[in-house]
Amino acid sequence: MPKIKHIAISTQDVDKTAKYYIEVFGMKEIARVDSPGATGYYLSDGDLNLAILNFKNDQVAGVERGKSYSGIHHIGFQVESLDAMAEKMAEAGSPRRDDINEALGVGQGPRHGGNVEVKYSGPDGVILDVSETGWVGTSGLGD
């Protein structure tokens, strides 16, 4: 069964937002992010990865929100099979967000280490992120 393992918050002040979640909820800093698409932090409670991100361009953020958006950006589910999930998403009318996938350089295909994610549109404009490998600081599907 898929499990929520990742939530990403888009913010204009990554340091202030990360500090809040660390001090108030006791989350641990797992890694810092400084990629071509975003800067920020990965935090974890040992089971869930919370990304605190400041997107560098509208394409990576998704044009409907853009890089200046603040709030929950996407929710990530760890799944057993990207192929099976692609079929379920298509049946549910959830299209792949190839605009975001291409801007991030992610998607289904050969695994070259690290996390491979695929973004989709969910109900109510929520961006959904599916992964077979999970996120840094999270437990596995069987845990």
Percent of the chain at pLDDT exceeding 70: 91
Q: Mean pLDDT for the chain?
A: 86
Structure tokens at 117: 């994610």
**Three-state DSSP state, 44:** strand
pTM of the model: 0.74
pLDDT of 114 reads 47
Mean pLDDT over 32-41 rounds to: 94
112 band by pLDDT with thresholds 50, 70 and 90: very low
Structure tokens at 50: 């919370």
- pLDDT of 109 strictly over 70: no
Bigger pLDDT: 77 vs 106: 77
Mean pLDDT over 34-43 rounds to: 94
Alpha carbons 58 and 65: distance in angstroms, whole number: 8
CA triple 98-103-104, angle to 5 deg: 100
113 band by pLDDT with thresholds 50, 70 and 90: very low
Domains in the chain, start-ordered, CATH in brackets? 3-131 (3.10.180.10)
80 band by pLDDT with thresholds 50, 70 and 90: confident
- pLDDT of 62 strictly over 60: yes
CB 16 within 8 A of CB 41: no
